[in-house]
Amino acid sequence: MPERSESDSRKLLRRLRDMLAVPGKGQDRLDQITHLIADSMGTEVCSIYLFRDPETLELCATEGLRKESVHQTRMKLGEGLVGRVARTGQPVNTADAPSEKGFRFMPETGEEIYSSFLGVPIQRVGEKLGVLVVQSKVAREFSEDEIYALDVVAMVLAEMTELGAFTGDDGGIRALHKQPVMLRGTSGQEGAAEGRVWLHEPRVVITNPVADDPLTEIDRIRAAVGELRVSIDDLLEAQTLDKDQKQVLEAYRMFAQSRGWLRRMEEDIMRGLSAEAAVEKEQSAARARLEQVPDAYLRERLSDLDDLSNRLLRILTGQGKDTGAEMPENPVLVARNIGPAELLEYGRKLKAVVMDEGSVGSHAAVVARALAIPLVINTERITAEALNGDPILVDGDQGIVHLRPEETVARAFRDKIAMQAEAQKRYASLRGLPATATCGTTVALHMNAGLMADLPSLEGSGAEGVGLFRTELQFLVRSKMPQRAELARLYARVMDAAKGRRVAFRTLDIGSDKVLPYMKPQDEPNPAMGWRAVRVGLDKPGVLRMQLQALIRAANGRPLTIMFPLITELSEFQQARAHALRELHREKSLGHPVPEKLEIGAMLETPSLAFAPRAFFELTDFVSVGGNDLKQFFFAADRENELVRRRYDTLNLSFLTFLEGIVARCAQTGTPLSFCGEDAGRPIEALALAAIGFRTLSMRPASVGPVKALLRRVNLNDARAVIDRAKAEGAESARPFLMEWLSSHSE
């Protein structure tokens, strides 16, 4: 890199910094900056375009274009050359702007006389802020050094924008992290909450983007990279890592050792940036590249680089994860993504969780559901927008988040929360009462659980017992396979907390979406229909047997209920049951107390089991319909796939007719039957299930109240007649019929 431009850009940065050090109004500063850049770079024009909203750029200051067009000229993201720079995050450099593809002529600016154009993005990691442009009359392409210099200046502008250097009452410039933002994501768990942002990984704030002494900065960055390398080596050595974790860390190490990375950062420093700003500049560039890369593998590698940059920034700034900030009251956790164990550590003190990434079936989502915390996922940019302590409203029903909401929005939202709280109060008054319909039929309502943390809800919700205890959560939140004694202690605590009420422990349901961090994931073309649940338990019985032993020991003579997931045919149930009985005998022969009563049941989650021989229904102590899986297999619609997961209605009469068949088969053999999928917790669905003959439903604790309230005010025979009428009329779904009946039937 030539010495001349090196010192030029440093000089420019220093002038910029000195200018910014003097207190001034936002608009004045922007005007001065455009003047200073045009002057230093010897161009007739310098303009700054900033985002007005995520889709619109606005000319906020200019040297050389008509002043009247400031705050008047606007363009959409992707429109014209400026819009192209903003969209792609890449510079545009042309000697003949008007003939460039996508050029948009803006007569109000008077720019038609300028032939050459150089635009670079003003961006901060993960956040597009605007575009910095220089133009001149002479038709020439800008040199590599000039592009570089402008890029470095843009980087500093981004930092200053972030620090609020250009906001004020005067210019109408977007105040970062101050305006209300509404973000749309996907609902991961229903419920509404109001609180304050608590960032899982706080943003690193850079207060010194420009540095005087490049040699000191180079020493700093080398020392920090050295520290980073050592920390990765330590990680690689110290931990018992599996192959995949090792691979990720090896990739980290490769980047940390990459000369190109350090060299580019050193070059940035020689241009006048501080070590921190240099890291961030490279990180922004990597992010911009990330957005353009279609290849998933490469994208993952680039995101490794992103993580590494974050670590490096934390070393340089001394801003660890723990910034000393106090967690606000009513914290709403905001994260790019989070592991299940970390989420569990926060526990129930969180009001809600919002994640930029994640999927409905991710482990974190499973934990959020178990904790009954509203969860919104896939918001894409909340971590770039939110600051610790920002007011936030989370609507888990709609998958919407309001950050720094307007008072009117907040008020409407509070009404919604108040209404829900009011309803909860009403439900609480029903707590001690049975879910007896007006026809005299009583439906037993149980709750689903999966964590110790769920158990307090047993008292509060009014549930009679735990109809489904998902044991895999205990396995998912650990970094290694739990030991038998540890599990036995935990199951014993669950039974203690249930105070004699029945808890149906479901044996490990892993595979499909639930992959244990310490087990080798299988590369299966269709995991939901693959090697999962009881299939894994029967093929590799070690863990299953250990779990059965732990359950028997935990019972310590008390009654015990076990159920096996995804039983598909009679012989599978026979084998699974035989394992349980074998362990029972083994425990007895070892002199351990055996449960005074042992129930062994099967989850009906595949249509095939509904047609199993009578011997199955005679052998099993009970059948529990796992509606989530059963529905996905009945309709051939992946429960994790947003495109199809809501496509088919549970009240579709084909499905209800199929469920009626299950009720009839269980009735023939007197086999107790329950339903424990999510649908059991939706009042209208629960009503339909009760109407067709289900007498036990198991659901989220928060659903017990609403379901009970509805069941207590209806006649199930009448509801059954409504469903039969829908069938007789050849309808597709019973829903409109039940809805109409309910509305004409309300008190």
- Which residues carry out catalysis? 363, 676
Residue 676 binding result from Mg ion, ligand PEP, none, given CB thresholds of 5 to 8 Å by partner type = ligand PEP
Q: Which is nearer to ligand PEP, 91 or 626 (CB)?
A: 626
Given candidates 290, 458, 468, 604, which one binds ligand PEP under the rule CB under 6 A? 468
Query: Using CA atoms, how far apart are residues 204 and 227, in angstroms rounded to an integer?
Result: 18
Q: How large is the angle between the packed helices 259-270 and 243-257, nearest 10 degrees? A: 40
Q: How many residues bind ligand PEP (CB under 6 A)?
A: 10
Using CB under 5 A as the binding rule, whether residue 450 contacts Mg ion is answered as: no
Using CB under 6 A as the binding rule, whether residue 509 contacts ligand PEP is answered as: yes
Using CB under 5 A as the binding rule, whether residue 626 contacts Mg ion is answered as: yes
Of 642, 603, 126, 631, nearest in space to 362 by CA: 642
Using CB under 6 A as the binding rule, whether residue 124 contacts ligand PEP is answered as: no
Query: Using CA atoms, how far apart are residues 289 and 90, in angstroms rounded to an integer?
Result: 9
Using CB under 6 A as the binding rule, whether residue 626 contacts ligand PEP is answered as: yes
Using CB under 6 A as the binding rule, whether residue 31 contacts ligand PEP is answered as: no
Q: How many residues bind Mg ion (CB under 5 A)?
A: 3
Take residue 550 and report the two structure tokens written for it: 């732990």
Take residue 434 and report the two structure tokens written for it: 């049975």
- The minimum distance between CB 562 and ligand PEP, in angstroms, equals 15
Q: Compute CA distances 374 → 362, 392, 563, 641, whole Å.
A: 15, 13, 29, 20
- The minimum distance between CB 629 and ligand PEP, in angstroms, equals 3
Using CB under 5 A as the binding rule, whether residue 629 contacts Mg ion is answered as: yes
Give 670's contacts (C-beta < 8 A, 6+ positions apart). Answer: none
- The minimum distance between CB 631 and ligand PEP, in angstroms, equals 8
Half-sphere exposure of 299 (CA within 13 A, CB side): 8
Of 114, 117, 107, nearest in space to 82 by CA: 117
Q: How many CB atoms lie within 10 A of CB 551?
A: 25
Strand partners, 393: 194, 402
Residue 119 binding result from ligand PEP, Mg ion, none, given CB thresholds of 5 to 8 Å by partner type = none
Using CB under 6 A as the binding rule, whether residue 495 contacts ligand PEP is answered as: no
Q: Are strands 391-395 and 192-199 parallel, antiparallel or unpaired?
A: antiparallel
Q: Which is nearer to ligand PEP, 256 or 476 (CB)?
A: 476
Residue 677 binding result from Mg ion, ligand PEP, none, given CB thresholds of 5 to 8 Å by partner type = ligand PEP
Query: Using CA atoms, how far apart are residues 573 and 569, in angstroms rounded to an integer?
Result: 7
Segment interacting with ligand PEP, rule: CB under 6 A, options 68-76, 134-142, 220-228, 620-628: 620-628
> In 3-state terms, what secondary structure has residue 303?
helix
Using CB under 5 A as the binding rule, whether residue 601 contacts Mg ion is answered as: no
Q: Compute CA distances 58 → 86, 179, 189, 427, 724, whole Å.
A: 12, 17, 38, 52, 61
Strand partners, 59: 49
Query: Using CA atoms, how far apart are residues 614 and 633, in angstroms rounded to an integer?
Result: 22
Segment interacting with ligand PEP, rule: CB under 6 A, options 82-90, 160-168, 190-198, 621-629: 621-629
- Per the listing, tokens 């083994």 go with 586
Query: Using CA atoms, how far apart are residues 558 and 608, in angstroms rounded to an integer?
Result: 34
CB 179 within 8 A of CB 380: no
Query: Using CA atoms, how far apart are residues 185 and 274, in angstroms rounded to an integer?
Result: 36
CB 696 within 8 A of CB 676: no
Residue 700 binding result from ligand PEP, Mg ion, none, given CB thresholds of 5 to 8 Å by partner type = none
Take residue 691 and report the two structure tokens written for it: 């109407």
Q: Which is nearer to ligand PEP, 81 or 676 (CB)?
A: 676
- The minimum distance between CB 657 and Mg ion, in angstroms, equals 21
Of 465, 604, 622, nearest in space to 533 by CA: 604
Using CB under 6 A as the binding rule, whether residue 470 contacts ligand PEP is answered as: yes
Given candidates 629, 662, 714, 737, which one binds ligand PEP under the rule CB under 6 A? 629
Residue 398 binding result from Mg ion, ligand PEP, none, given CB thresholds of 5 to 8 Å by partner type = none
CB 139 within 8 A of CB 96: yes
Rg of the Cα trace of the chain? 31
Of 635, 664, 656, 655, nearest in space to 647 by CA: 635
Query: Using CA atoms, how far apart are residues 531 and 523, in angstroms rounded to an integer?
Result: 10
Site string for ligand PEP, 276-315 (x = CB under 6 A): ----------------------------------------
Using CB under 6 A as the binding rule, whether residue 195 contacts ligand PEP is answered as: no
Given candidates 628, 641, 715, 733, which one binds ligand PEP under the rule CB under 6 A? 628
Segment interacting with Mg ion, rule: CB under 5 A, options 396-404, 425-433, 602-610, 667-675: 602-610
Using CB under 6 A as the binding rule, whether residue 676 contacts ligand PEP is answered as: yes
- The minimum distance between CB 743 and ligand PEP, in angstroms, equals 29
Q: Which is nearer to ligand PEP, 441 or 641 (CB)?
A: 641
- The minimum distance between CB 268 and ligand PEP, in angstroms, equals 50
Using CB under 6 A as the binding rule, whether residue 627 contacts ligand PEP is answered as: yes
- The minimum distance between CB 658 and ligand PEP, in angstroms, equals 15
> In 3-state terms, what secondary structure has residue 581?
helix
Q: Which is nearer to Mg ion, 100 or 640 (CB)?
A: 640
Using CB under 5 A as the binding rule, whether residue 513 contacts Mg ion is answered as: no
CB 271 within 8 A of CB 9: yes
Alpha carbon 454 to chain centroid, angstroms:
21
Segment interacting with ligand PEP, rule: CB under 6 A, options 285-293, 430-438, 625-633, 733-741: 625-633
Residue 390 binding result from ligand PEP, Mg ion, none, given CB thresholds of 5 to 8 Å by partner type = none
Using CB under 6 A as the binding rule, whether residue 513 contacts ligand PEP is answered as: no
Residue 323 binding result from Mg ion, ligand PEP, none, given CB thresholds of 5 to 8 Å by partner type = none
Q: How many CB atoms lie within 10 A of CB 336?
A: 20
- The minimum distance between CB 625 and ligand PEP, in angstroms, equals 7
- The minimum distance between CB 566 and Mg ion, in angstroms, equals 7
Q: Please give the residue ranges that form the binding site for Mg ion (CB under 5 A).
A: 605, 626, 629
Q: Please give the residue ranges that form the binding site for ligand PEP (CB under 6 A).
A: 468, 470, 509, 605, 626-629, 676-677
